[in-house]
Amino acid sequence: MPDRPIVLLTNAMHPDGEAILTPHAELIVPPDAKPETLRQWAKNADGIIVRAKLPDDIVDHAPRLKGIVRHGVGLDFIPVDAATARGIAVANLPGSNTNAVAEYVMSALMHLRRPLYRLDARLRSDGWNAARPIADSLPELSGSTLGILGVGTIGRHIAGIARDGFGMKVLGTSRRKGSLPAGIEEVALEELFARSDAIAVCCALNEQTRGLVNSGLIGRMRSSAVLVNVSRGAVLETPALIEALRSGKIGGAALDVFDVQPLPANDALFDCPNLLLTPHTAGITATSGRAMAVGAAEEMLRILRGEQPLNLVNPAYKAA
């Protein structure tokens, strides 16, 4: 390990993670995570721990860089190919926020299906007798059908909670036929959207999934069905969802990810009915934040010591 290497944190992380790194490296946190700021602060960095999207050309501005570690799972924040070409190791933390995202999905479904806040608000404003009738129209999750688009680590965890905890029937799709675990009925994508009472979108973003949830698939949904997107904004055709919500063609939606982040204050999504919006926080809790910080710190130290990280995503970097 070089004497007192510099590790750039795109954003501050849990103190327990910082405590692991501090005895071995100088930590720097820039004032913001704008592309031009990250380029400037990366020039002396030996490592970067990523919580915000890196500029695609970040490696051109970081001549000392030896490793990039994702504080989380998704790799779309990191120019992996460029890093590989420069001989820079890239690692992520699979499974570190799985439970947090799964709990978010189930919380969003409860919010959409049994919105207790409406009962609370009516009780406070209009009294007991005015609030009670709202409950007559609220369905239970038990016995309904959940369709999961993207049955990976997170999708499987969601399926287990939905099936074993709430008594839901679970459908899923897979590019490799016959690969889904027991308890998830494998169906075609169009059938998943047509049969499900709720749909959880949790697939990775790639060229095959970009724009996958389009007007055609949304048009197959039942008028009472709801959709939760914890994947990436680009997987969903947002104008099609806006039209479906405004026209009442579907029952509602919850979005944690968007085409543009942060979501602009004048975005059309703010005017949609039956829509829950959160600022890309499905995987963020106090519990997962600590786990990701500790995991990222440990992986970064391995890279700086010249060791292979446990979750290396670009083994070809060694040949560069």
CATH number at residue 299: 3.40.50.720
The pTM (predicted TM-score) of the whole model is: 0.90
**Domain shared by 183 and 227, yes or no:** yes
Per-residue pLDDT tens over the stretch 184-236: 999 999 999 999 999 999 999 999 999 999 999 999 999 999 999 999 999 99
**Domain shared by 113 and 207, yes or no:** yes
**Domain shared by 162 and 243, yes or no:** yes
Contact 281, 44 (CB under 8 A): no
Would residue 249 count as lying in a domain? Answer: yes
The pLDDT assigned to 2 comes to 61
The pLDDT assigned to 174 comes to 80
The SS3 of residue 123 is helix
Q: Which residues of 47-80 are buried (b: 16+ CB within 10 A; e: fewer)?
A: bbbbbbbbbeebbebbeebbbbbbbbbbbebbbb
**Domain shared by 257 and 174, yes or no:** yes
Model confidence band, residue 1 (pLDDT cutoffs 50, 70, 90): low
Active site amino acids: 280
Model confidence band, residue 176 (pLDDT cutoffs 50, 70, 90): confident
| Residue 70: closest CA among 300, 235, 288, 260 | 300
**Domain shared by 231 and 294, yes or no:** no
Q: How does the average pLDDT of the chain come out, rounded? A: 96
Would residue 215 count as lying in a domain? Answer: yes
Task: Name the percent of the chain in helix, strand, coil, to the closest 5.
Answer: 40, 15, 45
Query: Residue 193 is encoded by which pair of tokens?
Result: 């959207």
The SS3 of residue 134 is helix
Model confidence band, residue 320 (pLDDT cutoffs 50, 70, 90): confident
Query: What range defines the domain where residue 157 resides?
Result: 98-277
**Domain shared by 257 and 290, yes or no:** no
**Domain shared by 122 and 248, yes or no:** yes
Model confidence band, residue 313 (pLDDT cutoffs 50, 70, 90): very high
| Residue 251: closest CA among 235, 275, 283 | 275
Domain count, the chain: 2
**Domain shared by 75 and 188, yes or no:** no
The pLDDT assigned to 199 comes to 98
**Domain shared by 207 and 305, yes or no:** no
